[in-house]
Structure 1
Amino acid sequence: MSESYLSMIKKMSPNLRCYFFASFFAYLGLGAGNVLVNLFLMEKGYGENVVGIFLAIKLFTTGILALPSGIICNKMGYKWSLKKGLFFIGIGILLLTYFDGLVAVYLSSFLWGLGLSVFAVSAPPFIQDNAEMKYRQQAFSINFSVMMFSNMMGNYISGKMAEILPFEILKNYRVTLTIFALSTFIGIIFLINIKEKVKGEKSFNFKNHLIGITSLVKKDNNIVRLLICHGIIGMGAGLIVPLLNVFLKNNVGATTSQIGTIMSISQTTTAIAGLITPYIVLRLGKVKTVTFLRLLSIPFLIAIALLQNIYLVAVAVFVRSSLMNMTHPAELEFSMGLVGKDNRAFLSALLKTVESVGRSFSVLAGGYIMANLGYSLPYYITCLLYFIAVILFYNWFSSVEKNKISTKLTLNN
């Protein structure tokens, strides 16, 4: 683990390096969208409920189309799937930016969700298949940090641009969103350089693939348990994460620039924390790392709900985001290791389905609760859901990881 990340990246496959560049430009656009879209909709006169529905459609579409995306990914290959994902994300952002009316808003949300589904489902198995075993955990951490750092830049620059451009506020939002939507198309250019051999099956039976996914769940209790934990975390995150900018603006009184700055610094600290994850995993193991860090994040969730000072809230946001999200590389690598190569896209799809569908329902609940019952209550509910998920994850998978380590040691002796 003394080897530098720069040295590791140089030794990784050209496919991975192309993907990291594509991911950077993709999440640059997504980061800007995360800061501005909710505020853009509210500036156009829509309330928290419409924002909640927009987010719910995006998340539900991401989840419900994840299984078909996984099947198509297995058929068409990662390169095709990743490119199509970025294309639909960019089109979704542009549609929202230049067309008015609820139909355009919700269609944009659908296209955005479709793109996220295809892109997000393809990424974990792509990394698992293209990274050498000794660099696999680091590859997931590098990808995570690239995503976070790119998100940070999108958060910060878009928030600043929306305030300093010399037009009226709605046009400022439109110009900014257009620029960052185009960055997702730039990502496609890097994906073109990926080289892969697609299976190219002559017959393609969607029903048979669906049966294969069902059998994957039925024959392995660990997959069911993993999906339960992932779904609970998704429900908790959906209550608060998509509406963080609304929370900061209406509950703490933050400006658009402050919101962009807070979210960008949060992404930066999370990106740095993600690079530390492999070192913690080396000492604690994947399951204990996920458990310990997620438990530590809960008190900071409570602090966000209770505090009213913008600076103290910002610090709590930074720490909570870092602790909770730096566990993702360890959890993803652990998850992909539970199944064989042919089932990784399917498992990735199942994980995205339960997470996104859970978020789609809870973001509706979060929008309703914030509009009618107050801004703090969703945070308390999320604390409870996170605690339940963490305890279940540890109880179910600590022995699984020990058995896998014991098996590897036995094979090496």
Structure 2
Amino acid sequence: MPESYFTLVKKMSKNLKLYFTASFFAYLGLGAGNVLVNLYLVEKGFSADVVGMYQSIKLFTTGLLALPAGMVCNKMGFKWSLKQGLFFIGTGILILVFFDHQLFVYLSSFVWGLGLSVFAVSAPPFIQENAEPRQRQQAFSINFAVMMLSQMMGNLISGRLVEFLPYETLFSYRITLGLFTSFTLVGILFLTGIKETIKPFNFSLQGQLKGIINLATKNNYVPKLLTCHILIGVGAGLIVPLLNVFLKENVGATIGQIGTIMSISQTTTAFAALMAPFIVLRLGKIKGISLLRLSSIPFLLAIALLQNVYVVGVAVFIRSSLMNMTHPVESELSMGLVEKEERAPLSALLKTMDSVGRAFSVLLGGYLMSNIGYTIPYYLTCIIYVFATILFYKWFNHIEKDKSQLTQNLQM
């Protein structure tokens, strides 16, 4: 039975507390960036195609650099990698703030994606290593909740701040993005307090690549995890990066309303993630993930079909909660299916599949929204999510039927 979160936080290692604090500040800036950057580019006069390209470059960079990031993480340690990740994220957003040429827009996307890659790849194995085995599921849920709540605050406050500032709209965007980016950089200060012992080993690029290939081919679970991740990534890329554009252009939401919708969505998702360990305790990890994902589909259709901004907002809250509350469960499950030294490479592979899938599909999503209609990507995502969920259940349901095997894998 999972213990209470209050008790868990009291027992938590100092390293995890410092990481969660750093993550909170980091995602304040990311939350502001996620809600404002697309609208900021549109305000500058760029089309939805350019916005889609911006998101695609960021996602491609995140995915393609995930494997090198995993190698660097193994050599340099989690602390160094997490700090560099936040530095590049902040730098990427600041490039967008201070430069207007389209070339710098794409450079910003690349640097931002580089930072996300390093930070995202380092986080899961860091949590797995610094949490006690019986606390890991809840530790991943806390991590996800901190991310969501922090992004919520960034979304809500930044959207309202743009409307509140008594300046020309574009300048208000610049001030707000610059302010919230400073919060992301503040996160580096907390990471410096992490205590870490890096075990020396002979780093060989050839050896690292061979290890990754072996992981992807010799562990029966890994190719199936990667397939599910790329499908979910493709579906998410069609709609998630351009949600704010969809709400503005198709539903008629204001900047403040978009910020509010996205912030409430992340708040409900955060609390839902905290409930995930208790749900999967009753249903099981595989069945719980599958049922929650399928339950999100009707609300995804509602977003596409309805026009009232308030009703659509509620659908966004519920869909996001049901779909995304499964992430910490799947992350803990994935990290537990491989050996300790394989966790960073697996994290990198999963991030690569997710990001590359999103990178391709966000281009398609931007094209479809610009040339055919804003709702088509949502219908495609429904089909992809259903297919991915069926595959996930078919491939992994047998794991929980063998309780001894599951316990052994999760406690490696």
TM-score normalised per structure 1 = 0.98
Counterpart in the other structure of 1:59: 59
Contact 1:43–1:170, Cα closer than 8 Å, also in 2: yes
Q: What aligned pairs does 1:331-350 form with structure 2 within 5 A after superposition?
A: 331-350=330-349
AA in 2 matched with 1:172: S
Deviation at 1:200, TM superposition (A): 2.7
Aligned to 2:305: 306
Alignment of 1:386 onto 2:369: no
Q: Distance in 1 between matches of 2:305 and 2:172?
A: 33
Q: Which residue of 2 aligns with 1:177?
A: 177
8 Å contact kept, 1:57–1:113: yes
Quickly say closer, same or farther: Cα 1:374–1:168, change in 2 above 3 A: same
Distance 2:246 2:406 in 1: 48
Tell me by how many angstroms 1:404 deviates. 4.7
Tell me which amino acid in the other structure corresponds to 1:259. I
**Structure-2 residue corresponding to 1:273:** 272
Distance 1:28 1:407, change over 3 A: closer
Match of 2:154 in 1: 154
Q: CA deviation at 1:405?
A: 3.9
State the partner residue of 1:98. 98
Letter of the aligned partner of 1:368 in structure 2?
A: Y
Superposed CA offset, 1:227-246 (max 9, x none) = 00010000000000000000
2:14 counterpart of 1:14: yes
The aligned residue for residue 195 of structure 2 is 195
3-state DSSP class of the match of 1:362? helix
The letter of the residue matching 2:384 is L
| 1:98-247 matches, cutoff 5 A | 98-201=98-201, 203-247=202-246
State whether residues 76 and 200 of structure 1, in contact with CA within 8 Å, keep that contact through their aligned partners in structure 2: no
Shift of 1:221: 2.1
Change (3 A) 1:206 1:315: same
The whole-number CA distance in structure 1 between the counterparts of 2:85 and 2:349 is 17
Deviation at 1:406, TM superposition (A): 5.1
What is the identity, as a one-letter code, of the residue corresponding to 1:168?
Answer: E
Distance 2:403 2:384 in 1: 28
Q: CA deviation at 1:2?
A: 6.6
Give the CA deviation at 1:206.
1.3
Q: Using the alignment, how far apart are the partners of 1:405 and 1:382 within structure 2?
A: 36
**Aligned partners of 2:401, 2:216: CA distance in 1, in Å?**
22
- 2:355 counterpart letter in structure 1: S
Contact in 2 for aligned 1:236/1:359 (Cα 8 Å): yes
Q: Confirm or deny that 1:287 pairs with 2:286.
A: yes
Structure 1 pair 408/50, CA: closer, same or farther in 2 (3 Å)?
closer
C-alpha distance in structure 1 between counterparts of 2:366 and 2:50, whole Å: 9
**Partner amino acid for 1:257?**
G
Partner of 1:316: 315
Show CA shifts across 1:180-208 (max 9, x none): 1111111001100111111232x321121
Deviation string 1:291-349 (CA, Å, 9 cap, x unpaired) is 00000000100000000000110000000000000000111011111101000000000
| CA gap 1:72/1:2 in 2 versus in 1, 3 angstroms | closer
Alignment partners' CA distance in 2, 1:255 and 1:45: 17
Letter in 1 for 2:41: L
CA offsets 1:91-121 (integer angstroms, 9 cap, x no match)? 0000001101111000000000000000000
Q: Tell me the CA shift for residue 220 of structure 1.
A: 1.5
Equivalent residues of 2:399, 2:406 under 8 A apart: no
Q: Contact 2:2–2:135 at 8 Å: present in 1 too? A: no
3-state SS of 2:198 partner: coil
- Specify the code of the residue in structure 1 equivalent to 2:45: G
Structure 2 residue matching 1:345: 3-state secondary structure: helix
* Secondary structure of 1:367 counterpart: helix
The CA distance in 2 between the partners of 1:299 and 1:173, in whole Å, is 35
- Distance (whole Å) between structure 2 residues aligned to residue 47 and residue 387 of structure 1: 31
CA contact (8 A) 2:138 2:277 kept: yes
Question: How many residues are treated as equivalent by the alignment?
Answer: 410
Query: Which amino acid letter does the alignment assign opposite residue 144 of structure 1?
Result: F
1:10 deviation in Å? 1.2
Q: TM-score, normalised by structure 2?
A: 0.98
For the structure 1 residues 3 and 334, does the alpha-carbon distance in structure 2 shift closer, same or farther, using more than 3 Å as the test?
Answer: closer
Answer whether contact 1:31 1:154 (CA < 8 A) is retained. yes
Query: Given that residues 296 and 322 in structure 2 are in contact (C-alpha distance below 8 angstroms), is that contact kept between their aligned partners in structure 1?
Result: yes
Q: Distance in 1 between matches of 2:407 and 2:344?
A: 24
Contact 2:287–2:397 (8 Å) recurs in 1: yes
Report SS of the residue matched to 1:266. Answer: helix
Q: Match of 1:47?
A: 47
1:75 aligns with 75
8 Å contact kept, 2:18–2:191? yes
User: Which is worse superposed, 374-383 or 1-10?
Assistant: 1-10
3-state SS of the aligned residue for 1:375?
coil
Distance 1:405 1:275 in 2: 26
Q: Distance in 2 between matches of 1:152 and 1:402?
A: 38
Equivalent pairs: percent with the same residue? Answer: 67
CA distance in 2, matches of 1:172, 1:288: 46
Following the alignment from structure 1 to structure 2, what is the Cα–Cα distance between the partners of residues 192 and 350? 27
Given residue 64 of structure 1, which amino acid in structure 2 is its aligned partner? Answer: L
Equivalent-residue separation in structure 2 for 1:39 and 1:171 (angstroms): 13
Structure-2 change in CA distance of 1:67 and 1:76 (3 Å): same
